[in-house]
A and B are shown apart, each in its own frame.
Chain A
Amino acid sequence: MNDKIAYLEEKARELRTTILTMIHAAGSGHPGGSLSAADYVTVLYYDEMHIDPQNPKMEDRDRFILSKGHSCPVLYSVLAQKGYYDYEIIHTLRKFGSILQGHPDMNKVPGVDMTTGSLGQGLSVGAGMAIGLKSTNNSARVFVSLGDGEINEGQVWEAACTASKYKLDNLVAIVDFNGIQNDSFTKDIMPMDNIADKWKSFGWEVMVCDGHDISDLVKTFEEMKAFRHAGRPICIVANTIKGKGVSFMEHVPMWHGVAPNKEEFTQALSEINGGDCNV
């Protein structure tokens, strides 16, 4: 178990390195929410999800919808590391002719299960997928990553109702609760207090975890399996830190959508890799 945790922690470090490398190369992008999502995305892709990078359209694969699509560097990075596409392509993020569009295009990137980027739409899509999978007794699950700013959108709660009505226990929403949205702190822009109670009141099974503690994430996904056929969709509230892993980005709203310059990039990599910058 400890070996597994250490392995996943190492993969999360690599993921943060890839994220910052691609955003720095692009000169634009969204580091804050990519870094806050890095740990749960690592656990999903390296431990939890039933996937095959050699067969990205496998019918019984678990699906992942990055509804907070602006955080796509985290998704592009994990897909690159898993070998869905040539790792060197990460340097082309947001560039002319690249498969790595500013927001994810399912028809361009192998392994991207849904085109996203307009906030609030992913959970409805996930509900549709979950309904369709259930109708053919496909055992696959659908994971949808939502931002805590994103859930300001009314459509998210329309989807929450639908998932509850249709008893979609094959649908898992992960709320990246990092406390910051585009303009500033969520507490100032649109507070989403009592987040767990909100989802519970919509009929969801809710679990809360430390979104940066790999052990806690692994444990949460493990415990989640108890509800696999409970007839309720599952919401994991992952308490996270925007910009996690880079001291000057953590908790700073500005780093929602700004790329690090050369000095900032060097410092960031050095912090992530424990002072040993080898990229």
Chain B
Amino acid sequence: MCKIQKEHVKTSRGYDPQPTRQAYGDVLLEMGAERDDFFVIDCDIAKSMKTMAFAEKYPQRHINVGIAEQNAAGVGAGLATLGYKAIVSTYAVFGSMRMLEQIRTSACYPNLNVKVCCSHGGLTPASDGVTHQAIEDMGIYRTVPNIAVMMPADYNATKAMMRALMDYDGPCYIRFTRDSMPNFYEENEEFVIGKGKVLREGRDITIIANGDLLHEAIKATEELIENGVDVELIDMHTIKPLDEELVLKTLAKTGKIITVEDHNILNGLGSAVADILATQGNGIMRKVGLKDCFAESGPYHDLLHKYEMDACYIIKMARELL
């Protein structure tokens, strides 16, 4: 049996665990003081999105359109035609599906600087249940031209990626966690959209993860190392544009990849990596993620265990490949 404790992360730097949506709210407030070239557009969930502090401090640059996501997308596009960055703020289910066509046609097609920033990614709104768990969002946006798609893993990564996103030219989709995540990255860690981060070099097998499940991947990596497996661990925070060079490099090295994502295993990180492997690389892989089903309400870690997305399952997959 798997020995991993639910909350045990040796690599934690000692910060209190926080939901990454908190980092989103905090960095907006910081950037509000630094620059005046962006608007934040909320859909009546500013409190939950942690944008209320920004709204109170910079009311002239905050718009709340009420429960009207499609309209929020269009308002963002209109602002973007004037040269502003439009931060459209909602939950991932609504940001990817309710406003999808508006973002696709009014933002991605004209390539405008609309940034869809969404909390409640994957199973992280665990107790909220299926209606609020976004398992399709990254895959949906991956199929829309022009838009970058990403999920940072922790508080500091989220702040850094939000800053990178503000200076990225074109539409972006970024998703955060509802529930708290351990902290892993140092402050001032540098992130480049489209460039994965090698967290540990290894020769036997590669684990490519992102978002909240990077923490499960870290736990699995530590366990595997203790058992003599030389794991290469990559944080692939951006699934589009995907860091193809890095995928090919690690594939040439280990020939074995496990992808790990808090998303349907269809069309997310795993599929993006599989596309490279199928067309340019040589090796074998396994995908860890939600297996094309809806989950349910429950504690986050229990859901990850039941739906075979946790560190134990990653280790099981690794054993299969080794």
Contacts and interface: CB of A to CB of B under 8 A. Distances in A.
Given A107-B110, A107-B111, A135-B60, A124 B105 contact: no
17 contacts: A106-B110, A113-B81, A121-B77, A123-B74, A124-B75, A124-B78, A128-B80, A128-B86, A130-B78, A132-B78, A132-B82, A158-B70, A158-B71, A159-B74, A159-B75, A162-B66, A162-B71
Nearest to A127: B75
Given A106-B110, A121-B102, A132 B74 contact: no
Interface residues of A, number: 30
A155 B70 contact: yes
B63 A166 contact: yes
Nearest to B109: A115
8 nearest A-B pairs in the assembled complex, by CB-CB distance:
A128-B78, A124-B74, A158-B71, A158-B68, A128-B75, A125-B78, A129-B78, A132-B82
A88 B210 CA distance: 52
A118 B80 CA distance: 18
Given A129-B82, A132-B82, A155-B70, A115 B106 contact: yes
Contacts of A107: 110-111
A109 to B, nearest CB: 12
B105 A118 contact: yes
Nearest to B65: A162
Nearest to B101: A118
Contacts of A118: 101-102, 105-106
B110 A127 contact: no
A115 B77 CA distance: 10
A114 interface: yes
B138 interface: no
Given A106-B110, A155-B102, A162-B65, A114 B81 contact: yes
Interface in B43-86: 60-61, 63, 65-66, 68, 70-82, 84, 86
Contacts of B65: 158, 161-162
B19 to A, nearest CB: 28
A131 interface: yes
